[in-house]
Amino acid sequence: MPSGPTSSEPQSTEASNAASPTRILYLGGSSDSLVALRERCGEKVEVVEIDSTLKALALVARHNYAAVYVDAEYFADVTNVGQLLQNDRILRSMADGVVMLDRENTVMWFNDSFEAWCKDGQQVIGGNFYRVLGGPEILGPDFCPFHSAFATGACSVSTLRTEDNRYFKIHATPVSKNGPIEDVATKDGFSSRPAKSEPAKTEHLIVTVHDVSDEVLQQQKLAAIHQAGTDLADLLPDEVATLDYTERVDLLKENILHCMQDVLQLDVIEIRMLDQQTRKLEPVMAVGMAPVAVERELLADSSGNGVTGFVASTGKSYLCGHTTEDPLYLEGAEGARSSLTVPLMLHDVVIGTLNVESPESNAFTESDLQFLEIFARSVAAAINTLDLLAAEKASTAAASVEAIHSAVALPIDIILNDAVNVMESYIGHDEPVLERLHRILQNARDIKMMIHEVGQSMAPVTAQVGPDTDEKRPILAGKRILVVDDDDSVRAAAHELLDRYHCVLETAHNGNEATYMVRNLSENERYDIILADIRLPDMSGYDLFMKLKEFLDPVPLVLMTGFGYDPGHSIVKARREGVRSVLYKPFRLDQLISTIEDNLQAFQA
């Protein structure tokens, strides 16, 4: 049986040395004395004795032998092993490791892939399977896979971890003297048994070894990212609940930085939040970025705003392998050669961007992109949690302020009414008394303003990560409005509806009070709009208009009436004199706001 080295194995030193003797592999037996192979071959031939057919196959595959001598009593074994390993050349080139073991876990045969994973300097043939792999830790599910396979005659599966943090999944298949094991169907699933019906006697195991390091490490990284994301949003334990909004944001930044560095091994980070109205990308966190890059104004626009603007406008991640060759890239970190940018998404809306950079070209892979996208979802969720906390605090503050204001608004208006009535009816006109009355007026007005200011200071500024849902009425903010009606419910409703838009709202019961209120305001404190019922206790709406016209030009008056009721034709006469609008009670909020805004714009023009 002549033999030579395979094309994938280098020849041994002995084979390459022309002076070394011819070598014969000798698997002897009971006929050794009759054969006397050593005496017959002489000193010019080196006879290498072995004790199993498996060793013969392993040595023939890896070394150069002139011939192989097998005693007749091993012919059956040679045939059986030859059937099992008839595709030896294919097995040797497989990416997975393949090993034949005996009952002592001794390696009888192996392929090239398995040898590449063995510890340097270890003798593989004849060595212990675990020892040649460096004593890996058995992770299960079967913690004695080879023993189980030999004992049960069934296949066994387990996972190993080596000291260099590689993971191998092993699958041990028993080989019996009656032939290979086959899987057969049973009522409980599948079980392994010999292909023949005779009782199996397992002598060897064929073990396949698959490197699952990438899969396991990826699962571990995903688990770490998931845990990191959970930790980001976990901002409500007792020790955190007492922090204000700014302190919570700082804590979130610390958690993000910790996770990025420890889990994702990233040191250069930039997070920008998108203002949904202006489309500006405001920097909220930057580590390792050049100051000029942090201060750069960027918009959510795919043109002229770098990779960050492109990602924010399209909602698509962007992997930049070579910054010097990418026309979209704007310098971020000094000396960066590659970058990775992903959108921060909340309910399918882009609320910001997360950007990382590296001094190496092609530093990021598709896996890195997927990991960063997963982490970005956690960042967006954590920011949303902060905003919900801020919104809750703002809502609570607003409710408290509204309750206080609703309780004091009308009483303060009464103080104002009484004060101007006293001033109008005071005969002596003593200057100190008048000054004190003016102070009463001013202090009463200041009380309402202070309530508004306290409410605004109690409500924290949020990051506004989502679309702005709060209705803004900049035309109304700061405008001074007087509502004249003898119905308490109308005056209270006016406060409830208009105070939310930061108007300076005051009320009066009748025409005379309204006249006094208007007359005792300074020029720079005049009312921007006056809403008056057409039927007041002491005069009609038209009469009030004419009275105010004596010292106001123009008169910013809007008349109110219930269900079109106008017995004195005040509306018709007032329209002739220049009144622009009439508001019908009970008025809806949209009609009230629209009418006031239209008149404000008309009078300001």
pTM, two decimals, is 0.43
- Using alpha carbons only, give the angle 82, 83, 85 rounded to the nearest 5 degrees: 65
Is 90 exceeded by the pLDDT of residue 315? yes
Give the mean pLDDT of 494-519.
88
Per-residue pLDDT, 467: 36
Per-residue pLDDT, 531: 92
Give the mean pLDDT of 557-573.
74
**Number of Cβ within a 10 Å radius of residue 54:** 23
| Mean pLDDT lowest among 254-263, 368-377, 384-393 | 384-393
Token reading at 588: 């809806």
Backbone phi, then psi, for 166, in 5-degree steps? Answer: -100, 150
Positive or negative torsion for Cα 531, 537, 541, 544 = negative
CA distance readout (Å), 542 to 534, 547, 558: 7, 9, 11
- pLDDT band with cut points at 50, 70 and 90 for residue 185: very low
* Domain boundaries along the sequence of the chain: 1-85, 94-211, 219-391, 403-604
| Choice between 410 and 355, residue whose per-residue pLDDT is larger | 355
**Number of Cβ within a 10 Å radius of residue 170:** 23
- pLDDT band with cut points at 50, 70 and 90 for residue 32: confident
Per-residue pLDDT, 183: 45
- pLDDT band with cut points at 50, 70 and 90 for residue 311: very high
Topology agreement, domain 219-391 and domain 403-604: no
CA distance readout (Å), 149 to 125, 208, 388: 21, 13, 57
Distance, in Å, from the CA atom of 165 to the CA atom of 182, rounded to the nearest integer, reads 34
Per-residue pLDDT, 177: 56
Helix axes 75-84, 53-62, angle to 10 degrees: 60
Distance, in Å, from the CA atom of 376 to the CA atom of 269, rounded to the nearest integer, reads 12
- The pLDDT > 90 percentage for the chain reads 15
| Mean pLDDT lowest among 59-63, 432-436, 484-488 | 59-63
| Mean pLDDT lowest among 9-23, 144-158, 338-352 | 9-23
pLDDT in tens, 46-96: 888 877 666 666 666 566 776 767 666 666 565 555 554 555 555 666 778
According to CATH, the superfamily of the domain at 94-211 is PAS domain (3.30.450.20)
Q: Structurally, what CATH architecture does the domain formed by 403-604 represent?
A: 3-Layer(aba) Sandwich (3.40)
Listing DSSP states for 90-111 in one string gives HHHT-SSEEEEE-TT-BEEEE-
| Mean pLDDT lowest among 174-178, 313-317, 364-368 | 174-178
Is 60 exceeded by the pLDDT of residue 236? no
| Mean pLDDT lowest among 194-208, 417-431, 494-508, 566-580 | 194-208
According to CATH, the superfamily of the domain at 219-391 is GAF domain (3.30.450.40)
- pLDDT band with cut points at 50, 70 and 90 for residue 463: very low
- Count of H helices and E strands in the chain? 21, 22
